[in-house]
Amino acid sequence: MTRIELARLRASRAKRALAAASAVGFLVTMGLARAAHPGHSTHAASTSTAVTSSSSVSSVPQVQTHVS
């Protein structure tokens, strides 16, 4: 393996490590946001105008992500 190839390998590993660290940081930040105020919504009023419909799902549930 040439020096250039070794350098490329080190750079690739460093990039992967940086991406992994960034992902952890992002997750921690969002986790802290969620945990900041744990008390909520359990005192909701019982009225709702929503209509519920049900259908049977045979195996793994399927949904669609889209712009709303």
Partner 1 sequence: MSRELHRFREMDVDVAVYGADARRVAAVERLFAEWDRVFSRFRPHSELALVNASRAPVVVVSALFARALRAGLDAAAETGGLVDPTLGAALEAAGYDRDFAAVRPDARPTGPPAPGRGRSVRLLGRVLVRPPGLRLDLNGVVKALAVDDALALVAGDGLVSAGGDVAVRGGAVVGLPRGGSVRVESGGVATSGITHRQWLRGGAVQHHLVDPRTGRPAVSRWSEVTVVGPTCLAADVAAKAAFLLSDDGPDWLDEHGLAGRFLTHDVAVTNGVWRDCPPEAA
| Pick 2 or 64: Cβ nearer partner 1 | 64
User: Which of 2/59 has CB closer to partner 1?
Assistant: 59
The Cα-based distances of 57 to 9, 51, 53, 54, 63 in angstroms read 47, 19, 13, 9, 11
Alpha-carbon distance 4 to 2, whole Å?
5
- Is 17 a binder of partner 1 (CB under 8 A)? no
Q: Does 3 bind partner 1 (CB under 8 A)?
A: no
List interacting residues with partner 1 (CB under 8 A).
Answer: 18-20, 22-27, 29-34, 36-37, 39-41, 44-58, 60-68
